[in-house]
Amino acid sequence: MTKSSAIDVRGGLFTLPVLRLLSADLDELRDGLQGKCKEAPAFFANAPVVIELAALADKADQLDFVALKALVRDAGMIPVGVRDALGDLQKSRIADAGLAVMSGGESRSRPKSPEISSRPPARVIHGSVRSGQHVQVDGGDLIVLGTVNQGAEVVADGHIHIYGNLRGRARAGARGDGDACIFALSLEPEVVAIGDEYLVVETPNAALKGRAGRVRLADGCLMLEPL
């Protein structure tokens, strides 16, 4: 075997959670990260994440990216890169910290849902998704003919339809489609997300248990509502 044949480089698509920084103060960021991780420890543990600077603008110049990287790792997450850096100096400091400099323009304006005819066929899961399982669909919708159990996670670029109970974690519109929705015959989730917007559900709404419901994004807020 030659040296070049020992590795096969392929293109891939991976959906990563985004940490949107709203402060440049490391102490405030540490407290915020610890709070998020306490809300949903299984969701964030060892999760690769992208750090977003868009909300900071010029305040991002104050950031110590080496310290920020250590802070995120101490919280139990794996920082992969930083997006929305302004100027060559910020980008150089990010790279010197061992983080990837990533493009972030896609998240600033949410794309409209593609026409149904242009989407790939939906993936259908015949049965329930068990605790510890992760199901992801790139480019289309996900249909689960069963329950998404506590500790399970389902992710799709399009809509998610669950013909059973949603008791675990679900993320629709994973590549930024803010028009995507999550539908279930009963909404009792741990965490739901549309695009980059996450909601940890500490106490499920009793009015949604046993009733068909929908999760949608409205004016930047996640709404859980009966159908």
Nearest 5°: phi and psi at 148?
Answer: -95, 105
Give the CATH fold of the 116-226 domain. Answer: Pectate Lyase C-like (2.160.20)
What are the boundaries of each domain within the chain? Answer: 18-107, 116-226
Per-residue pLDDT reduced to its tens digit, 42-66: 667 778 888 988 888 778 888 999 9
The answer on pLDDT for 147 being more than 70 is yes
First to last CA, the chain: 59
- pLDDT for 59 equals 84
Lowest mean pLDDT among 89-93, 145-149, 203-207: 203-207
Per-residue pLDDT reduced to its tens digit, 172-222: 998 888 999 999 999 999 889 998 888 888 777 877 888 899 999 988 888
The answer on pLDDT for 17 being more than 50 is yes
d(CA 91, CA 130): 42
Q: Are strands 153-156 and 169-172 parallel, antiparallel or unpaired?
A: parallel
- DSSP conformation class of 57: G
Q: What is the pTM of this model?
A: 0.57
Query: 39 in helix, strand or coil?
Result: helix
Query: What CA–CA distances, in Å, run from 14 to 48, 157, 186, 214?
Result: 10, 11, 28, 25
The segment with the largest mean pLDDT, out of 6-10, 38-42, 115-119, 135-139, is: 135-139
Structure tokens at 160: 């998610």
- pLDDT for 117 equals 47
Domains 18-107 and 116-226 share a fold: no
Give the CATH fold of the 18-107 domain. Answer: Alpha-Beta Plaits (3.30.70)
